[in-house]
Homo-oligomer: A and B are copies of this chain.
């Protein structure tokens, strides 16, 4: 709807990934957009609503991708997922799950359940992709796809958190190791150039 509203959400998204939810303020956003503090309160009366909007936008982006690429095989969809995280890694950014889950206890109920939805949605998407990739023989792994998906998400999440601290090459080392465990026929170096 409103362009300002979208700008606020996008900026809040960046700030959350950089500093966390509790460490960024309305003033941080207002300063960059050159509007007053209260203008943000007009669009998001309380901070929790802004947080929910940021998470919801991420959910929409993800569902939008799934809808547009429903025809692609699981293996290819997973490449896009890893590619997205890789781009984050290069920007020194973490994912929303990695940024928000540690502060979970400080959120109100509505924001908690929105975050819950995001975590479940990503995991289920990955699980569907893994299941399909295993059925088609493009990947090989033991155990339930949903548990394996948790491990995949886990690796992506923490490789972003840790590579920001221990060095940016850690992301690829970790993800490549994981891809080997999945019996994937590709590695991070095969990814450059894939578009969303």
User: Which of A42-50, A76-84, A177-185, A188-196 has 4 or more CB atoms under 8 Å from chain B?
Assistant: A177-185
Contact residues of A between 150 and 190, Cβ < 8 Å to B: 150-151, 153-155, 157-159, 161-162, 164-166, 170, 173-174, 177-178, 180-181
Identical copies of this chain, number? 2
- Residue among A103, A115, A147, A150 with most chain B CB within 10 A: A150
Contact residues of A between 97 and 148, Cβ < 8 Å to B: 97-99, 101-106, 112, 115-116, 119-120, 123, 142-144, 147-148
* A32 interface residue (CB < 8 Å to B): no
Give the docked Cα–Cα distance between A131 and B33 (Å).
52
Query: What's the least CB distance linking A21 to chain B, in Å?
Result: 9
* A3 interface residue (CB < 8 Å to B): no
Q: Which residues of B contact A164 (CB under 8 A)?
A: 101, 104
Give the docked Cα–Cα distance between A105 and B92 (Å).
10
Asked whether B154 lies within 8 Å of A162 as measured between CB atoms, the reply is yes
Asked whether B143 lies within 8 Å of A180 as measured between CB atoms, the reply is yes
Q: Which residues of B contact A162 (CB under 8 A)?
A: 97, 101, 119, 150, 153-154
